[in-house]
Structure 1
């Protein structure tokens, strides 16, 4: 999968997921906090392979654009998270931004920088997109802070709907 110009920001880079990432993907999903906020945890090598196949298929058909978030270190790059742009279609008024951060990278501003890079890329890549949404459950205080730091503005409380048991927040960012 080729990404014309992968987004980046100081200290983190976004790139296509690849087979070399699968062990770190499974390791990231061992975190109980990540399990709490994601709908489809990846707990085995087979699940990781299916997840990667889905990511590549979604890129090919334009439904979702998922990036691995990496930090460069003296000994090479390390996976620190994931960002995704969901629902770039004429039927959807605003695509949704999603993300997660590996436990070993939390609290260092990785998520806001990655979300900012993805948002800039989305507006550049899809000029017809005027707004992005970032959604999270009301009790996910960390996601609320990430949205604010990345420039997303709180818009409304959304009622709970399966699979999410609690109400949510909708934050938006305009092009």
Structure 2
């Protein structure tokens, strides 16, 4: 995937316009700041303690884009004509492989962006992009997983039109608690 991908999402009465684009090193410091939030760290499997960690994490995301198996987008508050707005969230398409019918969607939202409809709109934009980009390569469904006690993520899945499928058993150490599996299928 050599063409830079930029997705734009219109503002709503309660939420800002969004720009989704691959992560750049310019966001490393903002990423470290966002990860100071204990609630975010509670639900994510990685931590970013400082700017150096942020730089390593962004470089890892860039390498995954180049490999074509993980596509992580910084979600920014749109500024008129500028692609460097305030960091609001991350959305990611994971475990993508040619011919594989399923991939996983993940996301997190910065504390200052919660409750503004950022996550569902970003997940919806990622979902549309994923199906448009990879349907011809065999992508038929996207899976969204979250811990059973993460009610906010369950609401995001529902708002993003991902249907609840089943409860998944805990799988320590990566998944210490049971989870929910939500699925969205491509339209014919």
Q: TM-score range by the shorter chain?
A: over 0.9
Contact 1:134 1:152 in 2 (8 A): yes
- The alpha carbon displacement at 1:4 in A equals 4.2
CA distance in 2, matches of 1:156, 1:4: 36
1:152 corresponds to which of 145, 159, 162: 162
1:168 corresponds to which of 169, 174, 179: 179
Gaps of 5+ in 2: 11-16
1:137 aligns with 147
| Residue-by-residue CA offset, 1:55-112 (whole Å, 9 max, x unaligned) | 0110001110000001124796111000000011147441000000000000000000
| TM-score for the superposition, normalised by structure 1 | 0.94
2:13 aligns with none
2:14 aligns with none
Counting only pairs closer than 5 Å after superposition, residues 1-175 of structure 1 correspond to structure 2 as 3-10=3-10, 11-73=17-79, 77-90=85-98, 92-127=100-135, 128-162=138-172, 163-175=174-186
CA distance in 1, matches of 2:167, 2:42: 20
- Seen in structure 2, the aligned counterparts of structure 1 residues 119 and 168 have a Cα distance that, compared at 3 Å, is same
- The alpha carbon displacement at 1:20 in A equals 1.1
Gaps of 5+ in 1: none
| Residue-by-residue CA offset, 1:11-48 (whole Å, 9 max, x unaligned) | 11101111111111001100000100111110111111
Aligned Cα root-mean-square deviation (Å): 1.8
Contact 1:132 1:174 in 2 (8 A): yes
